């Protein structure tokens, strides 16, 4: 099987590359804009191109001729979408349109995993919890609107062109390699800098009361693979643990793994314009289709995130010999 991963050098993409090369017999192709900063598995075949360029998408799909496509390339930060809404909308929607329309033009019968987000559900009402796939979509950010559009484009091309699109709505995923635009990585980076003496012993935080369904990224990408094999084209699947944890518990868990004496300071700039108090996934459809269960304990995720940022900080601060 030939698998194509867009955004393969990103957070989820790099973990999916690890999984596919170590647990499957797939020949793995990846799409990047430029040379990756971090190494990818040696047997990944890289293709370079901007997915907003339709001609580039034609060349990429003709080169890879994949049996399955995992479309992970995106502008993925909610906060960035508030600062520059059009860039997020243009990037996420344009790339999705190009992939689906070129697949139709080439008659490519590959399954495509269209990656949306739990942000699509947006302003969830208490009566909607836990959130299943029939929960109304009430997006509250430009990023969420872009993901709703990607999601519905997948459905539209399934209905209009028979493209075997399988849509996923992952809930927040955490793990090593995530950028500090996201909460777990933001906390871990600050703690690692404090341990290294690179900043005052203060972690700056936003809303700690919010409760989220955090799942390790390595479990999330395994769900993508299982859905590529067993998911129903045209269907949509939530991906999440089904357990809600507060942002405060995430922070306290990371601080407990540190030897440093750390204070916490609220930074109003870190609050979102809209922030739901509680979101939690109903993953029953995913489990029924694939048998998937999360395997990596929350505490292990936190340890791996902090160790990753300790390594990153030490690389930056290590004196030259």
> What pLDDT sits at residue 317?
62
Between helix 298-317 and helix 247-256 the angle, nearest 10°, is 60
> What pLDDT sits at residue 272?
72
> What pLDDT sits at residue 54?
98
Distance CA 233, CA 289 (A): 12
> What pLDDT sits at residue 321?
40
CB 31 within 8 A of CB 58: no
> What pLDDT sits at residue 316?
75
Q: What is the mean pLDDT of each run of 10 residues along the chain (321 residues)?
A: 97 97 97 86 96 98 98 94 96 98 97 98 96 97 98 98 98 96 95 96 92 98 98 98 96 96 89 83 98 98 98 75 40
> What pLDDT sits at residue 318?
57
Residue 51 CB partners (closer than 8 Å, separation 6+): 6, 31, 57, 60, 73, 94, 95, 98, 99
Distance CA 71, CA 218 (A): 16
């Amino acid at each position: 099987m030939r698998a194509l991963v867009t955004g393969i050098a990103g957070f989820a993409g790099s973990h999916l590359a690890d999984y596919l090369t170590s647990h499957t017999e797939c020949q793995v192709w990846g799409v990047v804009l430029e040379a990756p900063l971090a190494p990818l598995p040696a047997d990944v075949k890289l293709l370079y191109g901007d997915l907003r360029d339709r001609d580039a998408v034609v060349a990429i799909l003709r080169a890879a001729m994949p049996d399955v496509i995992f479309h992970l390339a995106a502008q993925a930060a909610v906060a960035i979408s508030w600062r520059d809404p059009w860039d997020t909308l243009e990037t996420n929607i344009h790339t999705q349109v190009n992939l689906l329309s070129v697949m139709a033009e080439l008659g490519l019968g590959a399954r495509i995993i269209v990656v949306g987000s739990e942000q699509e559900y947006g302003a969830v009402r208490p009566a909607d919890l836990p959130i299943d796939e029939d929960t109304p979509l009430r997006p509250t950010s430009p990023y969420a609107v872009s993901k709703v559009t990607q999601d519905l484009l997948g459905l539209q091309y399934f209905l209009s062109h028979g493209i075997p699109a399988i849509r996923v709505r992952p809930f927040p995923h955490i793990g090593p390699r995530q950028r500090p635009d996201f909460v777990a990585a933001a906390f871990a980076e600050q703690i690692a800098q404090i341990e290294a003496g690179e900043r005052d012993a203060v972690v700056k935080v936003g809303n700690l009361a919010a409760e989220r369904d955090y799942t390790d990224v390595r479990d999330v990408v395994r769900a993508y693979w299982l859905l590529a094999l067993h998911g129903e084209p045209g269907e949509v699947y939530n991906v999440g643990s089904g357990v809600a944890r507060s942002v405060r518990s995430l922070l306290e868990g990371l601080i407990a793994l540190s030897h440093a004496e750390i204070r916490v300071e609220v930074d109003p700039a870190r609050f979102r314009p809209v922030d739901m108090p509680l979101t939690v996934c109903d993953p029953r459809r995913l489990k029924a289709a694939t048998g998937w269960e999360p395997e990596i304990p929350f505490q292990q995720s936190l340890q791996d995130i902090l160790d990753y940022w300790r390594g990153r900080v030490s690389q930056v601060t290590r004196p030259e010999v």
